[in-house]
Structure 1
Amino acid sequence: MPRAFLRYGGLDVLWRIGLTALLVCGIGLLPWLSRTDPALTVLKARAADGDPTPEALRAVRDELGLGEGPLRLLGRWLGGLLHGDAGRSWVSGTEVLPSVLASLGVSLLLMAAALAVAVVTAAAVCARTLWLGSRRRLDGRGAGGSGAAVLAALPEFLVAATLATVVGVKLGWLPALGWYGPQWMVLPALSLGLPAGAVLGRMLDDLLPGAFAEPWTLTATAYGVSPGSIARQALRRCVPALVPNLGLFAVGLTGGAVAVEKLFDIPGLGRTTLDAALAQDLPVLQTGTLVLLAFAAVAGVPARLAARFLLGPALRDGELRSLSGPAEPRPRALPLVYGTLLLGIIGLGLLRDPYTVDPAARLRPPSVALPFGADALGRDILARVGHGALGTLAWAVAISAAALVAGVLLGFLPRISGPLVELVNAVPPVLAGLLVAGVAGSGPWTPALAVAAVAWAPLATHTSALLRQERATTLMAATRALGAGEWYLLRRRLLPAVLRPVTRHAMLRLPGIALALAALGFLGLGAQPPSPEWGLLIAENHPYAERAPWGVLAPAAVLALLGALAVTAAGGVRWRRRTTGRFARTDSTASSPAVKVSAPGESSS
């Protein structure tokens, strides 16, 4: 019995249980692990003019039980959870669990609406590829273009600020503040769903050409199958590789919508947890983090089941064909144009002084002397964009590279990385930064460490999903039958199938990493004003967006330009597969195109 248990997923279950227990204990010990003194924060929250004498601080510590040892502290917290008691807020004194569950309900409702927007956006991004592919007019690459890259590069809170200012305030079409009914949900859902849908659409657009190149599409066309049916089958063929990431998006939209929830004044779980972390209200922070982790673990189960259901017996029988054929050459004009424009902006900015304050130039619009205008202190925005690129881009590129390596390596170990991904993804970068700062202290490295700790999770999920399909291809079975070893399969088949789409995915997330770093710096966990980091520029100029929109649009446009450059440049990333030699390519595309194959999800003969 023990051997059978270990053989059929027992180790996976034990790893999940051990990891969950470790994380729950870590959350329970937050008051003991924290290097700061919560008693001072609690005392000031209760009485702003109170004198923080040693006696008063000692009384607060005794009341909250902070003087107890770690084991008694953890035991008391776990015992309360078993009885449905998460304690009381240190600041307000109210019950924690009812307020956290109410916030979770708000976040789940917002997440569902944002996912609906994301699905519609993803469909719009890959609509042209579906239309061309179903009529066999595709030239071997996706036709989604770089417009989705620009949308995916826009930070969520910038989309939210633009919609709130233009649609909510100036036009007055929809309410831009509060949470009182369905119409208050529209603008926040658009703010979260548009960038997420652009990322999903780009990932799907990268897989569709491989599906339309499979022999079954030629057979279906010859038998007169309608283009719509072919497009639906191609979607079914590609969606399983994205379903795990869709689950990650759902969790990320629930806990990671902090900025959007704060901007629209939505009482969601992300905002509640962030406010608790800033106020050092540790009972609320503990419960909110625990609920996010539990939701992440639950959301991963239907995502895995859906991926297996969509592929059907083909995944089990090894009857699939690889979707990662040789990449077609991409036009190099767009990356060259984007790169030249970005370097030109940064170069011009570096020639100017980003710190000189000119009161006479406050909120001055763009002109020949000030191409990007001036901020509220009269500082040159172009100069600040150029100088801010040095630190922001260097850290963002380094973290993206590290996340790519870690994501690919851990993606090859799905039994280890799967449970870890589900739990790590539940913690948004802002909250991770606050947790890191609370335990290890604040410093210039804190934002980088916090973002790097969570940036690898979507890439590992993408890698595992692609590997699951690639291992079930007829090409892998044929290559093994010819005597190929595992090392050969890894170098010549699996890595080339994974690296190109995952690299494009990593580059698509590069602008978001740059913004997350700057946002953490703005919260006091890294660089401080007057540092010209890009996220700081957007945050500093946002209060003046209605009077001087160029202060927000200029750094946002540079971020969008970075995203377009990253995605179009990644389109040319390819790893050639050797098709000659001992183990030549033996899949069905090397033979006559008239070979009959079954539709996706069915066994072929």
Structure 2
Amino acid sequence: MLTAGLVCAIGLLPWLSHTDPALTVLRARSAERAPTPGTLHAIRDRLGLDEGPWTLLVRWLDGLLHGDAGRSWVSDTEVLPAVIQSLGASLLLMAGAVLVAVPTAGAVCARTLGLGSRRRLGGRRPGGSGSAVLASLPEFLVATVLASVVGVQLGWLPALGWYGPQWMVLPALALGLPAGAVLGRMLDDLLPAAFAEPWASAAAARGTPPASIARQALRRCVPGLLPNLGLFVVGLTGGSVAVEQIFDIPGLGRLNLRAALAQDIPVLQTGTLVLLALAALTAGLTRCGMRWLIGPALRDGALHSLHRPAPPAPRAVPLLYGLLLTAVITLGLSRAPLTLDTAARLQAPSASHPFGTDALGRDVLARVAHGALTTLGTALAVSAAALLTGVLLGLLPRLSGPLVDTVNAVPPVLVALLVTGVAGSGPSTPALAAAAVAWAPLAAHTSALLRQERATLHLTATRALGAGPWYLLRHELLPAVLPPVVRHALLRLPGVALSLAALGFLGLGAQPPSPEWGRLLAENQPYVERAPWAVLAPATALALLGALAVTAAGGVRLPRGRRAKPTAGIRPAVHEPAQQPLLADSP
């Protein structure tokens, strides 16, 4: 049902955008050709546009059933071979990114694994600000730095094209490093509770090697992350548009982007349908993986809760990041962000321009400071809405599961185009488009944690004593699920800020001379070799925002407090740990 609705919405895209589809196709084919009435009529007649969107949709579906996805409106070539070829390139790139992301996630939580397996974790707050900074770096910035430094200046690896394994290294690093940092932070958040379970204590007492205990702890925590890992896989396949553009990779993401901008409906429909099929396959594999890793514990209610009251987070580190970010914004607000000085183009940082100037001679510090007001305000509002939506839908996994799979498979640019077609272009369009997709990872995370928490021993005992659903949700489930999901939402805050400005860069939101941080990155990207400071300044601001959000969220938890008296004489559940190992093959 959702897939059919999305395909129909794509078929209506030219008519929703209130533009002449023939004119859009003509501009995509030849921008110099004059749009005369005769030319536009010939295009409409050839493509059958006068027959209306529903006739075109039925014709496309009928051809798809016979293995024919039609012909491109722009290039007049067969659609299916082009989509399959682009899918192959994207799958290879995705595989390379996963190979980078997995060891990156392992490096982020390596210290926690070492300390926990030796019973020395104590009250340590896992994770550091270094991984938070890496997770907040935009993919296209990492790609630009790798291409210009490693590929061009050092010449170690090729930086342009797609001709063999060597050409895959740099784009895989650009995609895998930030994704691995996010997954590592989420895994690091669950490991201390896994090491505190009774099976780990019993294994350590029997002299089990620490490496074996660490492997079992990983197996205990990975099921809660598998849904988000599946989202990363699909997102890396269809959402790596910027990286594919920078490295000139003929992937499915870039193909869908070009088709969406040119309103090449047959290509866009087929590409999106392939992504939806990949999302459904990935979702099925992740569910099977969860059952295989945990075994019968989910069915029998034999799990232990991974929720533990977090120790107080250190205040010095987030305070330092907050002071640095506040100082940058305060110093720049007194400067003019729009004043042009062509004689001072691309000047290096100096006393008069602490962050240097951009290609038009504007003060970069002023633009970063003034852009913070809009960027941070909108990003916080979108993140809050995404958190609320993700938690509410995550509490209803049967409803949210298909929605998450569908939303994650749709390229963000396509969502923005659909929102623009329905709501019109304006300052709220990027926020609506970002909020439409930002909730999906949080809903998947909530559903995964909720499923494991419902299978815990203490919840089974509390339910047996007569506790109702509302009591269990308020006093047991939400205190266990909300803290890691809130930390996850804060970890994604810089990415939300960047996606808002990226949509503006594509003409779907804020326009020049708006000083949004992501727009500053996009505007100054062509000058990264001549004036790296113009890119490093907004990138550093985003990194500070990410580090501040993650370190400040380190102690996020819901206090258990005094529990309401349950009806019918129910007593609060006592968390009695079982002594048997959790997993079937635990040590």
Normalised TM-score (structure 1):
0.93
Aligned to 1:425, the other structure's residue is in SS state helix
Within-5 A mapping of 1:79-94? 79-94=62-77
**Other-structure match for 2:279:** 296
Q: Distance in 1 between matches of 2:31 and 2:308?
A: 65
Aligned to 2:49, the other structure's residue is in SS state coil
**Other-structure match for 1:592:** none
Q: Distance in 1 between matches of 2:186 and 2:571?
A: 30
Question: 1:47: Cα distance to partner?
Answer: 4.2
- The one-letter amino acid of 2:160's match is L
Q: Does residue 571 of structure 2 align to residue 583 of structure 1?
A: yes
Question: 1:564: Cα distance to partner?
Answer: 0.3
Which of these residues, 182, 185, 188, is aligned with residue 165 of structure 2?
Answer: 182
Which of these residues, 116, 129, 150, is aligned with residue 167 of structure 1?
Answer: 150
Question: 1:533: Cα distance to partner?
Answer: 0.7
Q: Distance in 2 between matches of 1:44 and 1:21?
A: 29
Within-5 A mapping of 1:555-566? 555-566=538-549
Q: Distance in 1 between matches of 2:31 and 2:200?
A: 70
Q: Does residue 430 of structure 2 align to residue 447 of structure 1?
A: yes
Q: Distance in 2 between matches of 1:473 and 1:512?
A: 34
Within-5 A mapping of 1:31-430? 31-430=14-413
Aligned to 1:242, the other structure's residue is in SS state helix
Contact 2:11 2:265 in 1 (8 A): no
CA gap 1:47/1:215 in 2 versus in 1, 3 angstroms: closer
Q: Distance in 2 between matches of 1:307 and 1:382?
A: 48
Q: Distance in 2 between matches of 1:80 and 1:32?
A: 22
Q: Distance in 1 between matches of 2:180 and 2:32?
A: 48
Question: 1:329: Cα distance to partner?
Answer: 1.0
Q: Distance in 2 between matches of 1:334 and 1:448?
A: 30
- The one-letter amino acid of 1:184's match is W
Per-residue CA deviation, residues 14-37 of structure 1 (Å, 9 max, x unaligned), is xxxx22332233333434444221
CA gap 1:21/1:601 in 2 versus in 1, 3 angstroms: farther
Per-residue CA deviation, residues 216-271 of structure 1 (Å, 9 max, x unaligned), is 21111111111111111111100000011110000000011000000000000001
Question: 1:360: Cα distance to partner?
Answer: 2.3
Question: 1:603: Cα distance to partner?
Answer: 11
Question: 1:355: Cα distance to partner?
Answer: 0.7
Question: 1:96: Cα distance to partner?
Answer: 1.1
Q: CA RMSD in A?
A: 1.7
Instruction: Report which stretch shifted further, 482-491 or 172-181.
Output: 482-491
Which of these residues, 438, 454, 462, is aligned with residue 479 of structure 1?
Answer: 462
Question: 1:601: Cα distance to partner?
Answer: 4.4
Q: Distance in 2 between matches of 1:162 and 1:241?
A: 33
Per-residue CA deviation, residues 460-518 of structure 1 (Å, 9 max, x unaligned), is 00000000000000010111122221111110110011110000000000000000000
Q: Distance in 2 between matches of 1:48 and 1:128?
A: 56
Per-residue CA deviation, residues 559-600 of structure 1 (Å, 9 max, x unaligned), is 0000000001111211122487763442235xxxxx632143
Question: 1:50: Cα distance to partner?
Answer: 3.0
CA gap 1:48/1:244 in 2 versus in 1, 3 angstroms: closer
CA gap 1:28/1:434 in 2 versus in 1, 3 angstroms: closer
**Other-structure match for 2:441:** 458
Q: Distance in 2 between matches of 1:310 and 1:444?
A: 46
Instruction: Report which stretch shifted further, 507-516 or 18-27.
Output: 18-27
Q: Distance in 1 between matches of 2:368 and 2:10?
A: 39
Aligned to 2:507, the other structure's residue is in SS state helix
Q: Distance in 1 between matches of 2:155 and 2:412?
A: 33
Aligned to 2:275, the other structure's residue is in SS state helix
Per-residue CA deviation, residues 314-346 of structure 1 (Å, 9 max, x unaligned), is 111000110011111111111111111111111
Within-5 A mapping of 1:499-518? 499-518=482-501
CA gap 1:414/1:544 in 2 versus in 1, 3 angstroms: same
Q: Percent sequence identity over matched residues?
A: 73
Contact 1:118 1:197 in 2 (8 A): yes
Question: 1:53: Cα distance to partner?
Answer: 2.4
**Other-structure match for 2:480:** 497
Aligned to 1:588, the other structure's residue is in SS state coil
- The one-letter amino acid of 1:437's match is T
Q: Distance in 2 between matches of 1:163 and 1:51?
A: 41
Which of these residues, 529, 533, 549, is aligned with residue 546 of structure 1?
Answer: 529
Number of positions where the alignment pairs a residue of Structure 1 with one of Structure 2? 582
Contact 2:13 2:263 in 1 (8 A): no
**Other-structure match for 1:3:** none
**Other-structure match for 1:8:** none
Aligned to 1:525, the other structure's residue is in SS state coil
Contact 1:310 1:601 in 2 (8 A): no
Question: 1:351: Cα distance to partner?
Answer: 1.1
Contact 1:215 1:588 in 2 (8 A): no
Per-residue CA deviation, residues 505-550 of structure 1 (Å, 9 max, x unaligned), is 0000000000000011011111111110111111111111111100
CA gap 1:579/1:123 in 2 versus in 1, 3 angstroms: farther
Aligned to 1:456, the other structure's residue is in SS state helix
Contact 2:297 2:582 in 1 (8 A): no
- The one-letter amino acid of 2:427's match is P
- The one-letter amino acid of 2:149's match is V
Contact 2:70 2:78 in 1 (8 A): yes
Instruction: Report which stretch shifted further, 192-201 or 577-586.
Output: 577-586
- The one-letter amino acid of 2:575's match is D
Q: Does residue 14 of structure 2 align to residue 26 of structure 1?
A: no
Aligned to 1:538, the other structure's residue is in SS state helix
Q: Which runs of 5+ in 2 are unaligned?
A: none
Q: Distance in 2 between matches of 1:290 and 1:438?
A: 20
Q: Distance in 2 between matches of 1:194 and 1:379?
A: 32
- The one-letter amino acid of 2:110's match is A
Q: Distance in 2 between matches of 1:544 and 1:19?
A: 43
CA gap 1:579/1:134 in 2 versus in 1, 3 angstroms: farther
CA gap 1:49/1:560 in 2 versus in 1, 3 angstroms: closer
Question: 1:199: Cα distance to partner?
Answer: 0.2
Aligned to 1:571, the other structure's residue is in SS state helix
- The one-letter amino acid of 2:401's match is G
Q: Which runs of 5+ in 1 are unaligned?
A: 1-17, 590-594
